[in-house]
Structure 1
Amino acid sequence: MPSLQELATQLQEKNIALIAHYYTDPLVQDLAKLSQGCVGDSLEMARFGHDHPAQTLMVAGVKFMAETAKILSPDKTVYLLDQDATCSLDIHCPSDAFAAFKAQHPDRVVVVYANTSAAVKAQADWVITSSIALDVVRHLHNQGKKILWAPDKYLGHWIQSQTQADMVIWDGACVVHEEFKAKELAALQAQHPEALTLVHPESPADVIALADIVGSTTQLIKAASTHPATLCIVATDQHILHAMRQAAPHKQFIAAPTAGHSGSCKSCAFCPWMGLNTIEKVQALLQQPSTTAIEVPTPVRTKAFQALKKMLDFAQQNQQRVQTSGDVEKDQPLFEHTGMA
């Protein structure tokens, strides 16, 4: 097996940008950084793939991320490390069923989470990620819009609770985040009362209620590195702990529990599909480029691009507003309880 440096050199020589999610194996994350690629959440991955000059993108993540890269960069070749890497939110929101759901609510603005297929994105008015979802929904609510939301019900209901927006919500969930247990988390907090609890908003409401900070992967990493607490309990995929330890090596991180007393482990928070992304598959793809590059039909891509572009334009406008006003809340976690130390 070649070293990480050797693989990084091969990626650069072949002009391939490796784009990895925080939920992938730490070795894959390290390789992405070493090769001048990207490690990030789905919004960062989408931006990076679009802006990078490389004509070939290698996505270490799941299928909807590779499709998003192709939608934003149709002239580039996009590979997914494993063609079977998908997402429970995507699986449980098929495009035909979603079309029927949408038809029942013709008066609503359709906002779909990035964790959906290209075919579902093509039916949306907006495509958003967790890092910008709250801002977009609040913006639409302030305009008096009624919203149809899909597919993650926990994220949808949490956003609804924060904005009071009129939302009809699809019944979907992430298989990882849905398994976090409030009772076990409360017991862990009692053992570590000084700990800061970081929770992804795809988690159940009773878990979110116990959080000190709720946010996207990038927002949680920033909170872990900037908050004065030196011990953090983290409720999201455990592979994020690698990035947190790199950002704050002097701090301690504990994975939030997903199993009760009868479970064989206290936290089994690993996405099975993200786990399909391995260093060995990077090497194999470098040795023999796949003949099954990601493709998105032009009519689907065109419609999905418009919904994605709304999000990217909105994010850019927000950033410009923050730079102009000096607003310190830029890139802060989506929500923080007051009264924290």
Structure 2
Amino acid sequence: MTTVETTVPEITRSVTDLGMPDPRVEIPAAYGGVEADAQWAAEIKRLAKARNAVILAHNYQLPPIQDIADYVGDSLALSRIAAEVEADEIIFCGVHFMAETAKILAPEKRVLIPDERAGCSLADSITAADLREWKADYPDAMVVSYVNTTAEVKALTDICCTSSNAVDVVASIDPDTEVLFLPDQFLGAHVKRELGRDNIHIWAGECHVHAGINGDELTEQSDSHPDADLFIHPECGCATSAIYLAGEGVVPEEKVKILSTGGMIEAARETDAKQVLVATEVGMLHQLRKAAPDVDFQPVNPRAACPYMKMITPAALLRCLTEGKDEVLVSPETAERARLSVQRMISIGNPGSGE
């Protein structure tokens, strides 16, 4: 591990040397020359042990962050682990709403995110004020919120859902009751298509990365890889196109799988395909290739990298463990209301595998 000491307050460091796009992340100069080598890994482990901290990493994180973590997975699974592990601190390598969810489910623990600026375009697409106004228009509706939302939005939610259980969650609601589904329009469209209900109102939010994986790209990739299976995340702009291709017989229906990130890992271990086209954030490829090393996993869109996820650099993680920054706080009142919406989801019998 190399560090560069300097009197300059901050520098900007690229992460292109880690094989990912440069999100133009500013990090303290004292950590500016950090490389994810064996010395860095040993120091991360030493510091985590000294703090009695557990490191959690989302599937979309940089490969070195995934490899150093104690647990890797989707946001909800990691948050549930946070509630169960024996640790004083949770180091959540992901985006801010994920660390909030961990704090909601583990209020007695100190939750840190290596860079508090790591936000989420999907979670930011609806605020608590937006939801209050929307609810006022449909006072008798049930609010179903994807877990990719802020704590304040979860606190105004009747029941949360994940991408893997969204259909089951909405199906558990009386079919005569109107549903406000938020914030992801593509996941909402998937639920509405599956259930055939006209009384589901969908918020027009999206993850800018998943929305950018479009149908034209999927069609082009499918044409050039005719024997490949398709793993499609329901947040993707191409999910509808995938269903269409299967319906038209362009792609055999059994090859099209609409899956959460957790579902992709399970499917990877079970697939007989020699090649799989993956429509989700490219960080997912690292875990898929580890789960099934004999399968050729290729991204539908190789540019689908979330700059917020990539803000959690080796330098940021080292800073977090050295300085104890940045702590994620959720007020007890908000956390209590938000926790209820998550618990209602779990009580329906399919807790889901996260986003």
Give the TM-score category using the shorter length: 0.7 to 0.9
Match for residue 28 of structure 2? none
Match for residue 299 of structure 2? 255
Question: In the alignment, residue 278 of structure 1 is paired with which amino acid?
Answer: T
Is residue 14 from structure 1 mapped to residue 54 from structure 2 by the alignment? no
Match for residue 289 of structure 1? 324
Match for residue 26 of structure 2? none
Asked if 2 retains the 8 angstrom alpha-carbon contact of 1:29 and 1:39, the reply is yes
C-alpha distance in 2 between matches for 1:120 and 1:208: 31
C-alpha distance in 2 between matches for 1:93 and 1:117: 9
Question: In the alignment, residue 270 of structure 1 is paired with which amino acid?
Answer: A
Asked if 2 retains the 8 angstrom alpha-carbon contact of 1:43 and 1:131, the reply is no
Match for residue 109 of structure 1? 142
Question: In the alignment, residue 281 of structure 1 is paired with which amino acid?
Answer: A
Asked if 2 retains the 8 angstrom alpha-carbon contact of 1:22 and 1:39, the reply is yes
The DSSP-based 3-state class of the residue aligned with 1:207 is helix
Match for residue 130 of structure 1? 163
Question: What's the TM-score once normalised by structure 2's chain length?
Answer: 0.82
Match for residue 277 of structure 2? 233
Asked if 1 retains the 8 angstrom alpha-carbon contact of 2:168 and 2:350, the reply is no
Question: What's the TM-score once normalised by structure 1's chain length?
Answer: 0.85
Asked if 1 retains the 8 angstrom alpha-carbon contact of 2:113 and 2:320, the reply is no
Match for residue 276 of structure 1? 311
Asked if 1 retains the 8 angstrom alpha-carbon contact of 2:56 and 2:91, the reply is yes
State the shift of 1:123 in Å: 0.4
RMSD between superposed Cα atoms in Å:
2.0
Question: In the alignment, residue 86 of structure 2 is paired with which amino acid?
Answer: P
Asked if 2 retains the 8 angstrom alpha-carbon contact of 1:109 and 1:125, the reply is yes
Question: In the alignment, residue 123 of structure 1 is paired with which amino acid?
Answer: L
C-alpha distance in 2 between matches for 1:304 and 1:30: 31
Question: Alpha carbons of 1:188 and 1:125: their partners in 2 closer, same or farther (altered >3 Å)?
Answer: same
Selected match of 2:182 from 150, 153, 175: 150
Asked if 2 retains the 8 angstrom alpha-carbon contact of 1:149 and 1:170, the reply is yes
Is residue 39 from structure 1 mapped to residue 91 from structure 2 by the alignment? no
C-alpha distance in 2 between matches for 1:133 and 1:43: 13
Is residue 308 from structure 1 mapped to residue 352 from structure 2 by the alignment? no
The DSSP-based 3-state class of the residue aligned with 1:140 is coil
Match for residue 205 of structure 2? 172
The DSSP-based 3-state class of the residue aligned with 2:122 is helix
Asked if 2 retains the 8 angstrom alpha-carbon contact of 1:148 and 1:167, the reply is yes
Structure 1: any 5+ residue segments left out of the alignment?
Answer: 258-266, 320-329, 335-341
Structure 2: any 5+ residue segments left out of the alignment?
Answer: 2-38, 247-255
Asked if 2 retains the 8 angstrom alpha-carbon contact of 1:23 and 1:237, the reply is yes
State the shift of 1:24 in Å: 0.5
Question: In the alignment, residue 240 of structure 1 is paired with which amino acid?
Answer: M
The DSSP-based 3-state class of the residue aligned with 2:315 is helix
C-alpha distance in 2 between matches for 1:281 and 1:104: 43
Asked if 2 retains the 8 angstrom alpha-carbon contact of 1:109 and 1:145, the reply is yes
Match for residue 50 of structure 1? 83
C-alpha distance in 1 between matches for 2:304 and 2:131: 28
C-alpha distance in 1 between matches for 2:266 and 2:294: 14
Selected match of 1:201 from 213, 222, 234: 234
The DSSP-based 3-state class of the residue aligned with 1:232 is strand
Identity of aligned residues (%): 34
Question: Alpha carbons of 1:207 and 1:17: their partners in 2 closer, same or farther (altered >3 Å)?
Answer: farther
